[in-house]
Every structure is written in C-alpha cells, then in structure tokens.
Amino acid sequence: MKKFGTTIAGFGGQGVLFVGQVLAHAGMLEGKYISWIPSYGAEMRGGTAHCFVTIAEKEISSPLVEAPEGLLIFNKPSLEKFESSAAKDGYLLLNSSLVDIEPRRSDLNIYKLSASEMAAELGNNRVFNLIMLGAFVKATGIVELDSVKKALEEIVSKKRKDMLPLNLEAFSKGVEAV
C-alpha cells in the first residue's frame, strides 16, 4: 500500500469522526504518514458528518481525498453523496441497517453489514461504528488489526475507559463478519 484514502460518512453522533481518529492513529502507530480532515454540519448530532483519512508510506502531498480507495458509509444520504467519488476497484462498506438502497456502481468491492443490529446484539447500539471499522480494516488491510486495538486503548478517554472492552468486542465482531 503506497497511499490509501478513505472517506467515512454518516450523521453527526454516529461516531464518524471518532472512527476516523482511530484509523489515523493506528496508521501513525505503524509509522506511516497520515492525515485526518473532519467535516460536520452545524447541527452536530443528527447533521451530516464525514472525514477523510489518508494513510501512506511516503509524505502526503495533499490531505484532500478526491477519489478514495475506501468508503465507510453509515447511512443512506452518505451513500448517495459519496458513492460516485470512489476510485475504481475501491472498497465500499455500508451499514445495511440504515442504507435501504443498492449501490449503483458495480466496479467496487462492496461489503454490506447490518451493523446496527449486530451492535444491538452486543447490548449497545452506539458501537455499530466500531463493527464497521473492524470490517473495513479486515477487508482492506489498510492497517494491522492490532494497531487499531492499540489505537482504541490510547484514544478512548479516561471517563469512557469502561467502554473499552465493548469497543474491542465490537471491532472484533466486524472483523469476523468479513
């Protein structure tokens, strides 16, 4: 992997930016060059949110991700907005729990996960984003699985450390789903 650009998109409050931070931190732990650019609507929760993450083996000349090799899509509006931007033969992972339409492109590696239902089975709907991340990392090989686990351990705030075991379990559930 020389350079891998990813767009992560969904509603505010779904943990879009958090997943991007974890992915970027995992790349950093591996000594790779990274960029993370967040974007969110003024509404915060319920508004749109997305971020661009680039992980590369050499310096990144521009942090913008115009044709991402990976799309991590949490909801239907995000699929409609970002599907056309993906690079040919890229990866599209979508939360089929919230995306009730089929992707239009046939030149992508498409993975559908009912991540919201999977998270409910774990007892917390909010961890669906980490299920999606686990599946994405497994499918793309963008970073090592252990790097993501270490990144989670380092990024989860002290006041949320009680959530770490569930976060790690959700990540593993996504890995297993691919």
Helix, strand or coil, per DSSP, at residue 18 = helix
User: If you average pLDDT over every residue of the chain, what do you get?
Assistant: 94
Average pLDDT (25-38) is: 97
Residue 119: predicted pLDDT: 98
The secondary structure of residue 87, as a DSSP letter, is P
The tens digit of pLDDT for each residue in 97-134 reads 999 999 999 999 999 999 999 999 999 999 999 999 99
DSSP state for residue 158 in the 8-state scheme: G
Work out the pLDDT band at 1, boundaries 50, 70, 90.
low
β-pairing, 70-73 vs 91-95, is parallel
Nearest Cα neighbor of 118 from 128, 126, 109 is: 128
* pLDDT of res. 42: 61
pLDDT in tens, 143-173: 999 999 999 999 988 888 899 999 999 999 9
Distance (Å, whole) CA 47 – CA 12: 5
The alpha carbon of residue 175 and the mean position of all alpha carbons in its chain are separated, in whole angstroms, by 13
Query: In terms of Cα–Cα distance, which of 79, 163, 85, 169 is closest to 133?
Result: 169
What pLDDT sits at residue 63? 80
pLDDT band (50, 70, 90) for residue 64: confident
76 contacts 101 by C-beta, under 8 angstroms: yes
Q: How many domains does the structure of the chain reveal?
A: 1
What is the 3-state composition of the chain as percent helix, strand, coil, each rounded to the nearest 5? 45, 20, 35
Distances (CA, A) of 158 to 57, 78, 146, 162, 163: 31, 31, 21, 8, 10
Full residue range of the structural domain in which residue 47 is found: 3-177
Q: What is the pLDDT of residue 46?
A: 61
Residue 163 DSSP code: G
Q: For the chain, what percent of residues have pLDDT higher than 70?
A: 96
Q: What is the rounded distance in angstroms from the CA atom of residue 122 to the CA atom of residue 118?
A: 7
pTM, two decimals, is 0.94
CATH number of the domain to which 92 belongs: 3.40.920.10
* pLDDT at residue 43 greater than cutoff 60: no
